């Protein structure tokens, strides 16, 4: 069937762009001599994960324990849950490992957490593998390279709790303004995490995994000595924000929301669609970049950009399309039910509004892939 | 069980606040002498709908056909799908009416749409009831009061297509700055839609439903002569944005996201939780109001506001809590796994990240109510 026959709004995934983006990430990892541990949080879909991972058993990264359970149930064993552990979740971690024979690893960044994990492992006779989270650019969680607390955290992992490695995420790279800055962020991320690993080893700790990565830094890194793996996620799909960061072309964006024209306001030059902010998400990340795309870039049903237009504003189930220059739209071009495809600011929250991807070659639907959402199972 | 035993993030609904908000909306409608046709798009949950509706069969309002199908399957018959119809959806509308004996009405605002609906009804031997959408304040869809096109749209509804009434939504009321402005918006909305109904009747059209409403205008309306019903939605739950509009207290907000402390950055004065923007939504509506709440207001597990704090920024699965004044947080107050409840900027997208409400009296869970999401079924 043709995707234009779908009810709208519907989430479309361009198969060829997806495959090309995956190939590109793999090539970047080959160049760096590292393993790719794709972050699956953007799509939460086993079919896409299998196209990304080196083997059906992983490695891979997840952002929730529901993702971990879902991917483990589908055969993925080598997983990192890359959000700092809350100790009450350890029972779930252990359950996933036991039920599915998985090796789901956790991350932590304090002696308090390491002691809680060690205590839990001892009390439950369990083995839990943990990575120490490092903050390479001050943007979120983790210990700063050189902080003596890192050694204390490593030492506090005992009994069933084991040090599996170290991990960082150069989230600051999302806000760089130039290719030079991005190159520096990528080099700094790799040097920072490799340095922490070396320091731990110099103090007698065994450090297996040295994990770095974000989509921008994987795209920009020239070398990553001492790093064993990269964990990029959104770059499998790409979006307008990543285009603004300078790491993809608009033509690389594999995800779009198919919408229908449901009305017009001729006096205002508006075309109104059924793709509102619930479908596009409230993400307005491009508002802080050099080109603001509103709630999304407008393409025709074939996926060709209509560069004069943007989704200027949105309500829950209404997207309002206008010309970027404020001029009139030729209303005859937009009859009721005309299909358009809207490229998202941010692939992750847009995809999270949907329960399936309609996979397309051109406008032909070639598969429907389910995804998961939420936290409870 | 206690909600503090739940895995996090989890969506909490305070039962007493919910019931009080529903009582308040009903009292407003009684005062105005109108029917309440609650908009169910905020919660998409039959248990909440049954507490709102005058009868188990409605009336009610929905924003997607998936909601219409879900509520109709659960016995709701008198429904308005309050988003302009795309003609390709008429088959679904007819199917819902046929399968469940529902009276799902549509809205439209052009001769093009009215003719498409009439043609479809004729070709399928179906009866479709439609309301004409009126734009009372220029914020989105609909025909402007006094536009002669309104009469042409009414005349274009024929064969199986029937004029069921007129409808408007004073979405502009979300952006008012004073109680006086809000009062004027409420009066204007009611006068505008009642005037359109009178004009249609003067031209020989039968107008049954005269539908107005938004949460702010329902709260503010002093009288609504000629209006038959109000369709408020978010006011059943309320949120920080509605508090900023001036129509509720923070203590009225019935929805919160239960989160756990997963880390801290002492040097920055940050407490990090597992309530990121995927749970809170990317909605930053309060950024344009007099008090910006970041990604949410912070309460203790009992629901008491901690007024010095806010969720200053967020990543997909991380919420970063800081003091509003930038000062240090006493880290000893926030051990790992401490539970907090975050009040949302906007109840609708926050609830849409979850598949169920944990209904609580105080901190005791008294029920779990499922909700629906997405568009396809």
CATH of the domain at B334: 2.40.37.20
- What letter does residue B19 receive in the DSSP assignment? H
Looking at chain A, the whole-number percentage of residues with pLDDT higher than 70 is 100
How far apart, in whole angstroms, are the C-alpha atoms of residue A75 and residue A63? Answer: 17
Q: Do the Cβ atoms of B337 and A86 come within 8 Å? A: yes
Please indicate, yes or no, whether residues B172 and B289 belong to a single structural domain of this protein.
no
pLDDT of amino acid A331? 86
- Evaluate whether residue A266 is within a structural domain: yes
Let me know whether B134 and B188 are in one domain: yes
Asked if B375's CB is within 8 angstroms of A9's CB, the reply is yes
A7, A88, A352 member nearest B375 (Cβ): A7
- Give domain status of residue B118, yes or no: yes
Tokens for B244, please give them: 């900023």
Report yes or no on B123 lying in a domain: yes
> Does some domain include residue B241?
no
**Does the CB of B260 have a partner CB in chain A at under 8 Å?**
yes
**How far away is chain A from the Cα of B338, in angstroms, using its nearest Cα?**
9
Q: What's the pLDDT at B173?
A: 86
Chain A CB within 8 Å of residue B373 CB = yes
The domain in which residue B366 lies consists of 3-10+248-370
Copy the structure tokens of residue A58.
């992983």
* Residue that finishes a domain, picked among B185, B210, B235: B235
Q: Burial level of B4, CB count in 10 A (0-12/13-18/19+)?
A: middle
Structure tokens of B277?
A: 């923007």
Contact B349 A63 (CB under 8 A): no
A249 at the B interface (CB within 8 A)? no
pLDDT at B177: 86
**Within an 8 Å CB–CB cutoff, is residue A111 touching chain B?**
no
Look at residues B209, B235, B261 and tell me which one is the last residue of a structural domain: B235
Please report the pLDDT score of residue B163 as a whole number. 98
Choosing from A178, A208, A234, the residue where a domain stops is: A234
The residue with tokens 């598969």 is A367
> How far is Cα B128 from Cα B119, in angstroms, rounded to an integer?
11
Mean pLDDT estimate for chain B: 97
Tens-place pLDDT, residues A19-53: 999 999 999 999 999 999 999 999 999 999 999 99
Tell me which chain A residues have a C-beta less than 8 angstroms from the C-beta of B7. 65, 88-89, 92, 375-376
Same domain? For B24 and B162 the reply is yes
Judge whether B38 and B236 are in contact, CB under 8 Å: yes
Q: Chain B residue closest to A314 (CA)?
A: B140
Mutate which of B43, B66, B274 to disrupt the A interface (most A C-beta within 10 Å)? Answer: B274
Nearest to B316 by CA among A57, A61, A72, A75: A61
B227 shares its domain with B92 = yes
Question: Based on the domain organization, do B274 and B186 belong to the same domain?
Answer: no
Among B184, B175, B181, B170, smallest CA distance to B136 is for: B170
In this prediction, residue B57 carries a pLDDT of: 98
The chain B residue lying nearest A358, using CA atoms, is B376
Query: What average pLDDT does the structure give for chain A?
Result: 97
CB A170 within 8 A of CB A186: yes
CA distance, residue A157 to nearest chain B CA (Å) = 16
Same domain, A213 and A274: no
The pLDDT value given to residue A177: 86
Quick one: pLDDT at residue A194? Answer: 98
> What is the C-alpha to C-alpha distance for residues B273 and B322, in angstroms, rounded to an integer?
11
Q: Are A165 and A208 in contact (CB under 8 A)?
A: yes
Q: Do A316 and A359 share a domain, yes or no? A: yes
Inside any domain, residue B152? yes
Q: Mutual orientation of helices B65-73 and B90-100 as an angle, nearest 10°?
A: 10
Based on the fold, state whether residues A160 and A273 are members of the same structural domain: no
Q: Is the pTM of this model over 0.95?
A: yes
Shared domain check, A136 and A43: yes
CA-based diameter of chain B, in Å?
Answer: 73
Of B334, B369, B263, nearest in space to B14 by CA = B369
**Interface mutation vs chain B, best among A149, A316, A335, A351, most B CBs within 10 Å:** A316
Task: Please check whether residues A216 and A79 belong to one and the same domain.
Answer: yes
Distance of alpha carbon A279 from alpha carbon B188, whole angstroms: 31
CATH number of residue A170's parent domain: 3.20.20.10
pLDDT (mean) for B318-330: 94
Residue A172 is predicted with a pLDDT of 87
Residues B226 and B325 placed together within one structural domain of the fold: no
Instruction: Calculate the alpha carbon distances from B188 to B22, B148, B168 in Å.
Output: 24, 20, 11
**Inter-chain residue contact A86 with B8, CB threshold 8 Å:** yes
Give the sign of the dihedral formed by CA A277, CA B67, CA B134, CA B242. Answer: negative
Q: Do residues B231 and B252 both lie within one domain?
A: no
Bond before B282 cis per omega within 30 degrees: no
- Is A64 at the interface with chain B, CB within 8 A? yes
Residues 174-213 of A with CB under 8 A from B: none
Count how many domains chain A has: 2
Quote the tokens at residue A168. 């960082």
Kindly determine whether residue B141 and residue A318, on different chains, have CB atoms separated by under 8 Å.
yes
Residue A209 has pLDDT above 90, yes or no: yes
Which residues on adjacent β-strands are paired with residue A341?
A: A258, A299
CA nearest to A63, candidates B336, B9, B12: B9
- Indicate yes or no: CB of B316 within 8 angstroms of CB of A41: yes
Interchain contact, A355 vs B374, CB within 8 Å: yes
Residue A88 touches partner B, C-beta closer than 8 Å: yes
Q: Which of A141, A265, A316 sits opposite B272 (nearest CB)?
A: A141
Q: Produce one character per residue of B30-45: b if its CB has 16 or more CB atoms within 10 Å, e if not.
A: eebebbbbbbbbbbbb
Q: How far apart are CA B76 and CA B57, in angstroms?
A: 4
Contact in structure between A197 and A240 (CB atoms under 8 Å): no
Q: What percent helix, strand, coil does chain A show, rounded to 5?
A: 35, 25, 35
> Which pLDDT belongs to residue A376?
96
Contact A278 B349 (CB under 8 A): yes
Least confident interval from A5-14, A105-114, B44-53, B171-180: B171-180
Q: Which of B318, B348, B354 sits opposite A316 (nearest CB)?
A: B348
Contacts A84 to B, Cβ<8 Å: 262-263, 272, 318
pLDDT tens digit string along B199-209?
Answer: 999 999 999 99
Q: Is the per-residue pLDDT at A173 higher than 90? A: no
Residue of A274, A313, A339, A354 to mutate, interface with B, max B Cβ within 10 Å? A274
Minimal C-alpha gap between A194 and chain B (Å) = 22
Q: Which residue of A has its CA nearest to B315?
A: A140
Instruction: Assess whether pLDDT exceeds 90 at residue B198.
Output: yes
- Judge whether A332 is closer than 8 Å to chain B, CB to CB: no
Is residue A239 one of the residues assigned to a domain? no
Give the tens place of pLDDT for each residue, B231-261.
Answer: 999 999 999 999 999 999 999 999 999 999 9
Q: Which of B113, B336, B348 sits opposite A86 (nearest CB)?
A: B336
> A282 and B278: CB-CB below 8 Å?
no
Which of helix, strand or coil describes residue B340?
strand
pLDDT band at residue B172 using 50, 70 and 90 as cut-offs: confident
Assigned domain for B243 exists: no
| Residue A242 located in a structural domain | no
**For residue range A233-284, what is the model confidence (pLDDT) as tens digits?**
999 999 999 999 999 999 999 999 999 999 999 989 999 999 999 999 999 9
């Amino acid at each position: 069937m043709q995707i234009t026959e779908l009810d709208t709004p519907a989430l479309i995934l361009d198969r060829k762009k997806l495959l090309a983006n995956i190939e590109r990430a793999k090539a970047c990892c080959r160049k760096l001599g590292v393993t790719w541990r794709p972050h699956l949080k953007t799509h939460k879909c086993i079919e896409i994960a299998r196209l990304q991972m080196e083997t059906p058993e992983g490695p891979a990264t997840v952002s929730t324990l529901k993702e971990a359970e879902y991917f483990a149930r589908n055969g993925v064993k080598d997983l990192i849950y890359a959000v700092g552990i809350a100790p009450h979740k350890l029972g779930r971690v252990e359950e996933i490992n036991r039920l599915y024979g998985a090796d789901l690893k956790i991350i932590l960044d304090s002696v308090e957490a390491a002691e809680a994990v060690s205590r839990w492992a001892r009390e439950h006779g369990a083995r839990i593998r943990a990575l120490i989270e490092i903050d390479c650019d001050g943007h979120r969680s983790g210990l700063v390279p050189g902080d003596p607390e890192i050694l204390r955290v490593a030492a506090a992992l005992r009994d069933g709790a084991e040090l599996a490695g170290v991990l960082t995420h150069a989230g600051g790279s999302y806000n760089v303004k130039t290719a030079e800055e991005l190159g520096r962020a990528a080099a700094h991320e790799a040097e920072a995490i490799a340095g922490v690993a070396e320091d731990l080893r110099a103090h007698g700790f065994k450090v297996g995994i040295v994990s770095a990565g974000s989509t921008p830094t994987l795209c920009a890194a020239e070398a990553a000595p001492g790093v064993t793996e990269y964990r990029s996620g959104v770059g499998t799909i790409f979006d307008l924000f990543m285009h603004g960061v300078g790491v993809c072309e608009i033509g690389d964006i594999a995800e779009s929301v198919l919408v229908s024209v449901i009305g017009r306001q001729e006096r205002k030059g508006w075309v109104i669609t059924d793709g509102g902010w619930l479908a596009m998400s409230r993400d307005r990340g491009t508002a802080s970049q050099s080109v603001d795309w509103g709630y999304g870039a407008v393409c025709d049903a074939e996926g060709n950009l209509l560069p004069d237009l943007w989704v200027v504003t949105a309500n829950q189930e209404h997207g309002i399309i206008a010309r970027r220059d404020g001029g009139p739209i030729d209303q005859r071009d937009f009859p009721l039910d005309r299909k358009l495809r809207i490229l998202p600011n941010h692939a992750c929250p847009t995809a999270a509004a949907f329960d399936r991807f309609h996979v397309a070659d051109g406008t032909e639907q070639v598969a429907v892939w389910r995804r998961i959402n939420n936290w409870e199972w």
